[in-house]
């Protein structure tokens, strides 16, 4: 909580603040490389308050602007180059910026790749919070920005040059500019090409290929404006406190600066989870040769990101080779390919840096190919440990020649092409290659990789901190208990850190329990931006971003099956070490995680959760509502549990049930299913306000009233809906002129219309009495969603969906089934198939 | 009858300049982890309990100790009994990734 009275009082002294003095530049630049159009757009502060900046704002922009299913390497893809409210401020580690884009490696997901180079600072100083890059330039080009001057310039003479040369040439041409560029790998559309800015890389997901596909070689920026926080006095004061926390912690104050990230190598190896030979083993025998302690002796100089007190970046020299080497690169090009020769690793790292290749994906692709050779699946691959073979393959990948053409597609695609069971040991999630921690021996990371919206990254929830490094305290890496909560908490907090643009290393010093305390971050954001952000709001922003990313994936067709690890991790036991015998079984943890997130069992965010976060649901598929028209509470609960397990969307407390056991059934279902949408069918005919309020107080999301009721009752119910946030469903049962009345009800403000053939009518005149022509007319006459009830079952549902029903209310087909869970699953499948068919037809 | 067992002590990061990379000690069985701090020293002769322990009873927050690759808290903490050929690894708080 933001509870420092002194700081709050200081706000009062600065009451002349306006939005322009916050750490935002208040403008986004939109550049279309195809039409050469350049325009400035004002920052939408309503959106900024919800998504903050950086990753969050980038995801929001792309979610709104990208058409589903576009090819990430087509001109339809866009790149959001984003800064955050911390970028360029005096807050430690705030030189960061990021790019959000649809990833060519995963095809269906977004990726956000972050960088500690100075481009973000210069962009903010030039007066822009971000750039949206669209279209494809007809010729190689680069973007030049100097304060308000923005131009697209020819880059023909830079095309083909590596990242170092490009940076040097552009810095000679544009003095004191920050330059970000791709190398030949990006030009050649290698799907895991990356971008260099200063000595730091925006590495993951294939952003380099997206630049290459747009003929964009580089961006050079210089700005001269000052970045001023909303409350400069308070911001400086909290910054000093933050700095003291970082300096006083053994990791951020001492360890990372002394040894850099390679210091992890021995700790991860000792824990038996340092992947060796494409994740076949978890212990690297010759670890001493590549250990952080050994590399410490090779230090040329520290190369920190601008203004960073931690200083983990470093330039290292071994014999004739100097390179910037991080833990992940060291592992990917070393142990994962069974190589311990530093000369080879340094040369390989330097090649990747110059070509502009993501080292994690490169090392994974080559290790996978080496295993293919070991198994006799291919004849032209080097063997594990073949350093020269590794170097040659890096050249081939970057230039897309020989077998490099195959590997340049990423391990998922390459394995699909080679076949012969090679997908079983292609180490990725959703197409993104896996980082340097074997998930079999770190259960939190297994869940973290699986549920990451962007594929196998360690940067969405880095539970290695707790599970391997025992910071802030020990957590058993082999236990599942508490991991779903930990992963969710970290995913939400990291999403906000990525949006403010802080380095996640700071969290190692900031978190003091597994609850991931964020008070200091919240104070910094509040004093910097002028928005009041307490710890709860900080985490809520992260949760919103995580859900919107998930919704993007759902829109692209991803579901629970995509939250799974490759077969190797599920069936092959780790052969030795402290995690010997371990495999991954995420099934129970996934279900627990989804519940915790308020997601459906298929891994999609529930409407209720989206509404809570202020995100509009997709409504791509009709909803299945089970009507619990029963008498007994226990029986109703039992069926509700089965229906939820089968994937039902909404639970209805039927009128007979409410009359039999009262509103307790609503309270009980709310307690059991906190994130499910609960419908309370009161068939209200009078006292619209009172009964809607009662339903709301018991925990219902939707209350059913009778459409035949007087308008005054309808108006009162709608009023209660507005006051309490409960939705009003008007049931047309018994209405003689349904179309006319539905139009009136829509005007009166109800949220749903129900076309309902009652049970008594069904019993006398047979089931499936849904009047489809009326349904069709209803859909043409009103805009609000229409629910249908009347003996629906698996056979009749496709027709109801095809006719336009938005909500399918099913009673007996579930409640009287011998296996309600299976029946629900079957109905859901039918709805999904019918919805897909509808989408195709339209 | 007295039984001597061999224990391997390994040190990492900034503990290496103090203790070296590895020390091998022979101790009388049974022995608990907390008792071995009395039995090895830094290169400069400072007894290990003065480096690692708070008031000789608890491990300072700045360190993690692994027994054969697992944190000692996965067993019985400092009271864990050590067996022949155990490897005890001493780490300061480190981070990265």
CB–CB contacts below 8 A, A to B: 87
Residue A8, pLDDT score? 45
Could you tell me the pLDDT band of residue A619, with boundaries at 50, 70 and 90? low
Q: Identify whether B31 is part of a domain.
A: yes
Record the tokens describing residue A279, joined without a space.
């994740």
The total of other beta-carbon atoms located within 10 Å of residue A487's CB is 27
- Are A129 and A53 a contacting pair, CB within 8 Å? yes
> Phi, psi (5° rounding) for residue A131?
-130, 135
* Partners of residue A462 in chain B, C-beta under 8 Å: 97
ipTM over 0.90: yes
The pLDDT tens digits for A392-410 are 999 999 999 999 999 999 9
Q: Distance between CA atoms of A557 and A255, rounded to whole angstroms?
A: 43
> With pLDDT > 70 as the criterion, what percentage of chain A qualifies?
96
Q: Identify whether B97 is part of a domain.
A: no
Residues in a beta bridge with A753 = A730, A786
Residue A17, pLDDT score? 45
Could you tell me the pLDDT band of residue A21, with boundaries at 50, 70 and 90? low
Angstroms from A279 CA to nearest CA on chain B: 17
* Partners of residue B92 in chain A, C-beta under 8 Å: 250, 255
> Phi, psi (5° rounding) for residue A411?
-65, -35
By residue range, what is the domain housing residue B37? 3-92
Residue A767, pLDDT score? 54
Residue A618, pLDDT score? 80
Pick from A743, A764, A759: which is nearest to A809 by CA? A759
Record the tokens describing residue B66, joined without a space.
């692994």
Largest CA distance in chain A: 91
Q: Are strands A650-653 and A178-181 parallel, antiparallel or unpaired?
A: unpaired
Mean pLDDT of A621-633: 94
The pLDDT tens digits for A330-355 are 999 999 999 999 999 999 999 999 99
| Tally: H helices and E strands in chain A | 37, 25
The pLDDT tens digits for A732-781 are 999 999 999 999 999 999 999 999 988 787 777 665 567 889 999 999 99
What's the gap between Cα A496 and its chain centre? Answer: 11
Q: Which fold has domain A619-841?
A: TIM Barrel (3.20.20)
Which residue in B12, B21, B97 is closest to A464 by CB distance? B97
* Partners of residue A459 in chain B, C-beta under 8 Å: 97
User: Does the pLDDT value for residue A16 go beyond 80?
Assistant: no
Residue A768, pLDDT score? 58
Residue A770, pLDDT score? 77
Residue A546, pLDDT score? 98
Residue A750, pLDDT score? 97
Helix (H) or strand (E) holding A523: helix A519-529
Comparing A62-76, A613-627, A716-730, the range with the smallest average pLDDT is A613-627
User: Does the pLDDT value for residue B56 go beyond 80?
Assistant: no
- Interface touch B13/A258, C-beta < 8 Å: yes
The pLDDT tens digits for A25-44 are 999 999 999 999 999 999 99
Burial zone of A744 (CB within 10 Å; 0-12 exposed, 13-18 middle, 19+ buried): middle
Instruction: Sketch the domain layout of chain A as residue ranges.
Output: 19-222, 619-841
User: Does the pLDDT value for residue A13 go beyond 60?
Assistant: no
Q: Which fold has domain A19-222?
A: Aldehyde Ferredoxin Oxidoreductase;  A, domain 1 (3.60.9)
Pick from A488, A483, A452, A453: which is nearest to A466 by CA? A483
Residue A14, pLDDT score? 44
- Are A611 and A619 a contacting pair, CB within 8 Å? no
- Are A729 and A705 a contacting pair, CB within 8 Å? yes
Mean pLDDT of B15-26: 97
Residue A617, pLDDT score? 85
- Interface touch B13/A259, C-beta < 8 Å: yes
Burial A169-196 (b: 16+ CB within 10 A, else e): bbeeebeebbbbbbbbbbbbbbbbbbbb
Q: Is B64 on the interface with A (CB under 8 A)?
A: yes
- Are A211 and A186 a contacting pair, CB within 8 Å? yes
Which residue in A258, A262, A578 is closest to B70 by CB distance? A578
Mean pLDDT of A359-384: 97
The pLDDT tens digits for A602-616 are 899 988 899 899 999
> Phi, psi (5° rounding) for residue B63?
-125, 155
The pLDDT tens digits for A466-510 are 999 999 999 999 999 999 999 999 999 999 999 999 999 999 999
The pLDDT tens digits for A143-188 are 999 999 999 999 999 999 999 999 999 999 999 999 999 999 999 9
Q: Distance between CA atoms of A356 and A285, rounded to whole angstroms?
A: 30
Mean pLDDT of A555-573: 95
Q: Identify whether B15 is part of a domain.
A: yes
- Note the pTM of the prediction, 2 decimals: 0.88
- Are A353 and A326 a contacting pair, CB within 8 Å? no
User: Does the pLDDT value for residue A256 go beyond 70?
Assistant: yes
Burial zone of A682 (CB within 10 Å; 0-12 exposed, 13-18 middle, 19+ buried): buried
Looking at the structure of chain B, the number of domains it has is 1
Which residue in B12, B89, B97 is closest to A462 by CB distance? B97
- Are A251 and B94 a contacting pair, CB within 8 Å? yes
Record the tokens describing residue A123, joined without a space.
């962009």
Residue A766, pLDDT score? 63
The total of other beta-carbon atoms located within 10 Å of residue A794's CB is 14
Q: Identify whether B55 is part of a domain.
A: yes
> With pLDDT > 90 as the criterion, what percentage of chain A qualifies?
90
Helix (H) or strand (E) holding A607: helix A607-613
CATH of the domain at B42: 3.10.20.30
Helix (H) or strand (E) holding A695: helix A688-698
Burial B48-63 (b: 16+ CB within 10 A, else e): bbebbbeeeeebeeeb
Residue A20, pLDDT score? 47
Mean pLDDT of A779-798: 93
What's the gap between Cα A233 and its chain centre? Answer: 35
Q: What angle do CA A756, A758, A759 make, to 5 degrees?
A: 140
> Phi, psi (5° rounding) for residue A837?
-60, -45
Return the residue matching tokens 């001597």.
B4
* Partners of residue B74 in chain A, C-beta under 8 Å: 474, 476, 478
Q: Distance between CA atoms of A333 and A335, rounded to whole angstroms?
A: 7
Could you tell me the pLDDT band of residue A842, with boundaries at 50, 70 and 90? low
Residue A500, pLDDT score? 98
């Amino acid at each position: 909580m933001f509870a420092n009275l002194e700081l709050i009082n200081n706000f009062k002294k600065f009451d002349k603040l306006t939005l322009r003095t916050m750490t935002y530049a208040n403008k986004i630049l939109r550049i279309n490389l195809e039409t050469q159009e350049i325009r400035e757009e004002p920052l939408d502060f309503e959106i900024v308050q919800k998504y903050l900046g950086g990753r969050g704002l980038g995801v929001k922009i792309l979610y709104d602007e990208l058409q589903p299913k576009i090819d990430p390497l087509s001109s339809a893809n866009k790149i959001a180059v984003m800064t955050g409210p911390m970028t360029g401020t005096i807050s430690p580690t705030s030189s960061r910026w990021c790019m959000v884009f649809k990833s060519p490696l995963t095809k269906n997901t977004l990726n956000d790749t972050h960088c500690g180079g100075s481009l973000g600072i210069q962009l903010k100083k030039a007066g822009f919070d971000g750039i949206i890059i669209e279209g494809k330039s007809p010729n190689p080009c680069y973007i030049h920005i100097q304060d308000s001057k923005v131009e697209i310039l020819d880059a023909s003479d830079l095309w083909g040059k590596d990242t170092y040369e490009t940076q040097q040439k552009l810095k000679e041409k544009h003095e004191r500019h920050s330059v970000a560029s791709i190398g030949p790998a990006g030009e050649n559309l290698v799907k895991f090409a990356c971008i260099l800015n200063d000595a730091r890389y925006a590495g993951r997901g294939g952003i380099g290929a997206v630049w290459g596909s747009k003929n964009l070689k580089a961006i050079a920026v210089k700005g001269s404006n000052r970045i001023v926080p909303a409350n400069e006095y308070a911001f400086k004061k909290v910054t000093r406190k933050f700095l003291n926390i970082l300096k006083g912690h053994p990791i951020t104050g001492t360890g990372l600066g002394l040894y850099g990230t390679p210091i992890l190598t021995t700790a991860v190896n000792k824990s038996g989870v340092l992947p060796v030979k494409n994740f076949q083993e978890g212990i690297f025998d010759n670890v001493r040769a590549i250990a952080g302690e050994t590399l410490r002796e090779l230090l040329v100089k520290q190369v920190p990101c601008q203004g960073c007190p931690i200083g983990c970046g470093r330039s290292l020299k071994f014999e004739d080779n100097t390179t910037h080497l991080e833990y992940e690169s060291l592992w990917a090009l070393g142990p994962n390919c069974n190589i311990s020769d530093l000369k080879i690793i340094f040369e390989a790292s330097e090649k990747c840096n110059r070509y502009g290749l993501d080292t994690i994906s490169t090392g994974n692709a080559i290790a996978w190919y080496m295993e293919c050779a070991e198994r006799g699946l291919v004849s032209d691959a080097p063997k594990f440990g073949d350093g020269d073979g590794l170097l040659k393959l890096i050249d081939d990948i970057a230039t897309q020649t020989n077998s490099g053409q195959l590997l340049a597609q990423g391990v998922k695609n390459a394995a699909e092409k080679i076949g012969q069971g090679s997908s079983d040991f292609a180490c990725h999630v959703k197409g993104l290659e896996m980082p340097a921690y074997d998930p079999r021996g770190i259960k939190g990371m297994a869940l973290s990789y699986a549920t990451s919206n962007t594929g196998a990254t360690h940067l969405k929830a880095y539970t290695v901190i707790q599970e391997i490094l025992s910071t802030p305290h020990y957590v058993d890496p082999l236990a599942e208990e508490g991991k779903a909560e930990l992963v969710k908490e970290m995913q939400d907090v990291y999403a906000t850190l990525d949006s403010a643009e802080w380095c996640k290393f700071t969290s190692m010093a900031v978190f003091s329990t597994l609850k991931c305390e964020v008070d200091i971050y919240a104070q910094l954001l509040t004093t910097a931006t002028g928005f009041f952000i307490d710890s709860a709001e900080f985490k809520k922003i992260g949760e919103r971003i995580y859900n919107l990313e998930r919704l993007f994936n759902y829109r692209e067709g991803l579901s629970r099956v995509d939250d799974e690890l490759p077969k190797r991790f599920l069936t092959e036991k780790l052969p030795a070490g402290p995690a010997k015998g371990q495999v991954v079984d995420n099934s129970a943890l996934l279900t627990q995680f989804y519940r915790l997130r308020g997601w459906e069992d298929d891994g999609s965010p529930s409407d209720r959760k989206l509404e809570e976060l202020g995100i509009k649901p997709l409504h791509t598929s009709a909803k299945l509502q089970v009507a619990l028209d029963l008498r007994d509470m226990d029986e109703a609960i039992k069926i509700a549990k089965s229906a939820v397990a089968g994937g039902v969307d909404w639970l209805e407390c039927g009128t007979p049930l409410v009359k039999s056991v009262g509103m307790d059934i609503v309270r009980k279902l709310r307690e059991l299913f906190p994130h499910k949408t609960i419908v309370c069918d009161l068939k209200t005919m009078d006292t619209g306000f009172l009964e809607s309020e009662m339903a709301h107080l018991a925990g219902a999301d939707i209350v059913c009233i009778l459409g035949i009721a007087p308008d005054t009752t309808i108006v009162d119910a709608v009023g209660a809906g507005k006051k309490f946030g409960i939705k009003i469903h008007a049931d047309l049962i018994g209405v003689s002129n349904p179309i006319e009345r539905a139009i009136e009800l829509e005007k009166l403000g109800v949220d749903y219309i129900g076309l309902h053939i009652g049970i008594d009518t069904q019993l006398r005149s047979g089931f499936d009495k849904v009047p489809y022509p009326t349904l069709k007319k209803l859909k043409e006459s009103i805009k609000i969603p229409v629910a249908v009830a009347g003996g629906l079952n698996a056979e009749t549902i496709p027709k109801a969906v095809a006719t336009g029903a938005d909500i399918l209310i099913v009673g007996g087909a579930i409640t009287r089934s011998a296996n309600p869970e299976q029946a629900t699953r079957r109905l859901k499948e039918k709805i999904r198939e019918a919805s897909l068919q509808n989408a195709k037809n339209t | 009858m007295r039984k001597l067992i061999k224990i391997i002590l390994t040190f990492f990061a900034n503990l290496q300049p103090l203790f070296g990379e590895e020390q091998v000690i022979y101790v009388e069985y049974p022995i608990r982890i907390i008792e071995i701090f009395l039995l090895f020293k830094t290169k400069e002769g400072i007894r290990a309990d003065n480096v690692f322990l708070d008031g000789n009873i608890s491990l300072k927050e700045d360190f993690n100790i692994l027994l054969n690759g697992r944190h000692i808290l996965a067993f019985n903490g400092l009271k864990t009994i050590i067996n022949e050929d155990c490897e005890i690894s001493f780490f300061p708080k480190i981070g990265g990734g």
